[in-house]
Amino acid sequence: MNDKKLGATLFSINGLPNEPFRLRVLRVREQVPQDSHTPVRLNKWATILWKKELKQAVVPSFGPGYAAFLTPDTDACPIGQIYTLDEDVPDQKYSVEVTSKTINVEPRTASKEELKVAAEMLKRSISDAFARASDQFWRKHWNLFFRVAPENYDTETDEAYAYRGMRFAVLFIQAKAFLAADIVTTYRNIRALSAYPENEWEEKFYYHVSSQVDLEERDYFLRDNGANKIPCRFVSRSKDTVSSFWLTIGDERKTVKQYYADKYRIDLPSADKVVFVRDRGSPESWPVPTSRLFPIFKTDSDEMSGCSVAPFMSPADRIRSIQGFVSDLGPISFSGSRITVSTNPYETERSYFIAPTLEFRDGAILQMDESLPIERAFSEYRRGKLETLYQHGTFSEQSPADLVLFYPDSLQRTVRESFQTRLNLEIKKITESAPRIARQIEYKLGNQPSSGAGLLKAVEDFLKNPVDKILPLVVLAEPFRDRVYDLLKQRLRSNPSQCVTERTVKKIAGDERAVGGSRLRNLALAILTAGGIQPWVLAEPLNYDFYMGVDLLYGQVIYVFVCGKGGRNVWVRRGMPRKRHLSTEKIDEFELADRFAEAVREAKQLGVDVNSVIIHRDGRWWSNEDEALTNAITDLQSDDTLPADCKVGVVEVHKSHLPARLFTVTKNANLPLENPIPGSFLKLNSAEILLTSTGQPGPWDRQSRTARTLLLKLVRGEEAGAIDIKNIAQDAYGLTHLNWNAPEIEISLPVTIRWSDERLREIVRNTGIDERMDTEEQEAAI
């Protein structure tokens, strides 16, 4: 362990002036009730002030007898300004006044909230520096800028241009400010929308333009006006051209053609069609020329498959690229001083968790051989999962669920029969009994094969006469768009299911050696787990007794409960569709509390001793959810279901978060940076930890990939050291090893939040995880 170091894509920020962070105090003028709900209420108000009024960071600050907020001391909050808050509390308005009081944040002694504001201030400066260099970078979000020139600008074969971008944030580690940075890649079609006949738009760019897709769900276009590039979403067509559509800009009237000539110095063809789009974050629709509108693609689009610029990068390439961005950034001003960002990444002592011991049928176990070098030990452990599984069998002993097979009419009968035979053989190898295919339902592809209408209808018809304990196994036809899967999941809502692509079915059917191969094996495991069979469990107890995962999938809330030795008792409940509020995701807090209480009682009935409870929340934990949890715990304690001294923790599990990756620093000149061993972690502070649960040092380095990280953030339970973030991370890492559906690779999420990775289980394609490229940002803009 001591030969190598742990590295992270964190770069120190230097040159900060004395007293760099001056915060303005905002005071609540009225008396705020002081009770257990006060923190919840103030957090809510802080969000309202941040998002609606000040448009800059606002955090609550309160103590006995007072309630206040802190925000950067800028022109956005003039002294004396009063903001009225009339939400949340019935028949009562509160007013928040910008006082003349400021405080200077000293990172060494600052509170979490104060550091948060300080970080946002630094981040803003960096954003401004990027924005000033508009000849080099274009903005997708305030914390994500792309190079103006694509990496493959001189391509003659690629169908899409690839743009490298840097996503960044600022954090403090032991009072020192760091820039967290990561490289993302976005791809836009080389040809503009105008290059395609209008009657082909829907077929070619269904998820970009179709009225069947909700506006908020549509894929993005890029308005590429040279240096000025703006991501936007298609709203509607128009009958006009750029020459016939008139705009009113101030007092002037211009055609779109004139506007573009004046503003962007772009000479548009006169017959260029106009369509309406909405720019990022804007509620208004704008008329834009189709010749400047380019579809943005995701990594699994067909257009991407042959692109010469891959979205993956090795750790070394990633660092080099970030260094390039930092160098090209130019001067960064902050609080009257010039600050710099180091190009040397953060390094520290290597830290990682040992992979957990696993238990299979009849007590057979698999554990890491700690006498070996860690990389080798882990590699053998990973291989051992399957060997042990096939040798000893699954931990759960119930028989597999009956299946109903949905398949497209394009699938040849011989392929289907061969696939069924091989699948049965594979499952029988694992569980000693093959599943029964109770029904086979053919669906038509029809005139628009990509839409999946035939499949959706077949599923709807099937669901009219629901059959208990039956698992739909759906062959997704090759022409299907990604969205068909989402629509299918909505139809199947409360029913577990398993999907497999037609391509995979054909490969399995056509491969004489398919039985025992990874593709078929993963599908077999996926079917077993979808039907409730646990191939293995953790042999050792977790650090905490009871886990509840709260996750959102296809508009439905999923609650996953894990308890018992090594988390071997796992069950799932589904909840009501989420509510949308201020464009963010929220859950019905009363339902959350009810589910929690029911599950704790169920755990007690299973004989589990519950002295500590941890909530894993995918995404942000909201104040109303916290309040509901408090009430539920109070109830459970009142009847001794939970002890009075029960430890309670809430952990936000962020997949998209700080743009920081971990890696291992070696002494190998040929490979100075390599992928981190899964289980590697970096503790940022007492409440936050970065964890890598995926990756394969060696193979991934050769494939130019870097493992992603999870950010685990303890948002409740930190007080008085009740919950240790390192123990949380260790449990979370252990729970990622219930990676039944692709045992030869690691999955990124603990089983409590695995449903967001359901796609991984549910659509069995090939082994290996594709690096996800730039996806929709969820962070608030400042």
Partner 1 sequence: MSTLGQLSGSIAQNLGRVDDLTKWLIAVRADMLGKVAALKLSAEQVVEAKKKVAEFLDALAPVLEGKADGDNQQKLILKRLVDGGRQPTDYGSDFAGISSAMKSNIKLTAEQLNKVSEVVGYLQGEVAGEVRRLRSR
Residues near partner 1 (CB under 8 A) are 413, 416-417, 436-440, 442
Give dist(CA 96, CA 68) in Å, integer.
Answer: 8
Q: Which is nearer to partner 1, 437 or 671 (CB)?
A: 437
Assigned token pair, 271: 């017959």
To the nearest whole angstrom, how small is the minimum distance from the Cβ of residue 403 to partner 1?
8
Separation between Cα atoms, residue 116 and residue 113, nearest integer Å: 5
Helix, strand, or coil (residue 159) = coil
Phi, psi values for residue 394, rounded to 5°:
-75, 155
Q: 412 or 767: whose CB is closer to partner 1?
A: 412
| Nearest distance, CB of residue 417 and partner 1, angstroms | 8
Nearer to partner 1, 115 or 411 (CB): 411
Nearer to partner 1, 46 or 474 (CB): 474
**Nearest distance, CB of residue 622 and partner 1, angstroms:** 46
- Shortest gap between Cβ of 218 and partner 1 (angstroms)? 38
The residue with tokens 């079917």 is 527
CA distance 526 to 760: 10
Matching residue, tokens 């303005």? 24
Residue 380 or residue 442: which is nearer to partner 1 going by CB?
442
Q: For helices 413-431 and 502-510, what crossing angle results, to 10°? A: 80
In the bound state with partner 1, the residue whose beta carbon lies nearer, of 72 and 435, is: 435
Q: Which is nearer to partner 1, 530 or 707 (CB)?
A: 530
Least Cβ distance, residue 416 to partner 1 (angstroms): 8
Shorter beta-carbon distance to partner 1: residue 132 or 439: 439
Min CB(407)–partner 1 separation in Å: 9
Beta bridge partners of 538: 358
**Which lies closer to partner 1 via its Cβ, residue 7 or residue 454?**
454
Which token pair is 207? 């998820």
How many residues would you count in the chain?
782
User: What kind and span of H or E run contains 144?
Assistant: strand 144-147
Rank residues 253 and 436 by Cβ distance to partner 1 and give the closer one. 436
- Spatial distance between the Cα atoms of 123 and 547, rounded to a whole number of angstroms: 35
Beta strand 498-501 with 470-476 is parallel
Report CA dihedral (35, 40, 42, 45) to the nearest 10 degrees.
-140
Tell me the C-alpha to C-alpha distance, in Å, between residue 603 and each of 330, 445, 564: 57, 46, 8
- Alpha helix segments (H runs only) across 329-412: 374-392
Q: Minimum distance between the CB of residue 422 and partner 1, rounded to whole angstroms?
A: 16
**Is the CB of 442 or the CB of 478 nearer to partner 1?**
442
Least distance between partner 1 and beta carbon 493 (Å): 24
**CA–CA dist 364, 378 (Å, integer):** 19
Minimum distance, C-beta of residue 435 to partner 1, in the bound complex (Å): 10
Nearer to partner 1, 434 or 599 (CB): 434
> Two tokens at 95?
């007013």
Q: What is the closest distance, in whole angstroms, from the C-beta atom of residue 755 to partner 1 in the complex?
A: 29
Min. distance of Cβ 406 from partner 1 in angstroms?
Answer: 12
Written as one string, the DSSP assignment of 253-320 is: EEEHHHHHHHHH-----TT-EEEEEEETT--SEEEEEGGGEEEEE-TTSGGGTT-SS-S---HHHHHH
CA atoms of 740 and 533, how far apart (whole Å): 10
Min CB(404)–partner 1 separation in Å: 8
Q: How far is the CB of 452 from partner 1 (least distance, A)?
A: 21
- Minimum Å distance from CB 370 to partner 1? 48
Q: Which two tokens stand for residue 86?
A: 């009339």
Q: What is the CA radius of gyration of the chain?
A: 27
Nearest to partner 1 of 417, 779 (CB atom):
417
CB of 440 to partner 1, least distance (A): 4
> Which amino acid is present at 152?
N
Q: Please, which residue, 327 or 440, has the CB nearer to partner 1?
A: 440
Cα(624)–Cα(361) distance, integer angstroms: 42
Task: State how far Cα 254 lies from the chain centre.
Answer: 43
Least distance (Å) between residue 498 CB and partner 1: 16
Three-state DSSP at 463 gives helix
Measured CA to CA, the distance from residue 477 to residue 483 in angstroms comes to 13
Closest CA to 656 of 482, 778, 762, 740: 778
Contacts of 712 (CB under 8 A, 6+ apart): 651, 652, 653, 654, 688, 689, 690, 691, 725, 728, 729, 732
CB-wise, 105 or 470, nearer to partner 1? 470
Name every residue whose Cβ is closer than 8 Å to that of residue 135 and which is 6 or more positions away in sequence.
148, 227
Q: Do residues 137 and 145 lie in contact, with contact meaning Cβ atoms separated by under 8 Å? A: yes
Residue 24's φ and ψ, nearest 5 degrees, are -90, 140
Nearer to partner 1, 459 or 723 (CB): 459
Interhelix angle 589-605/623-638, rounded to 10 degrees, is 40
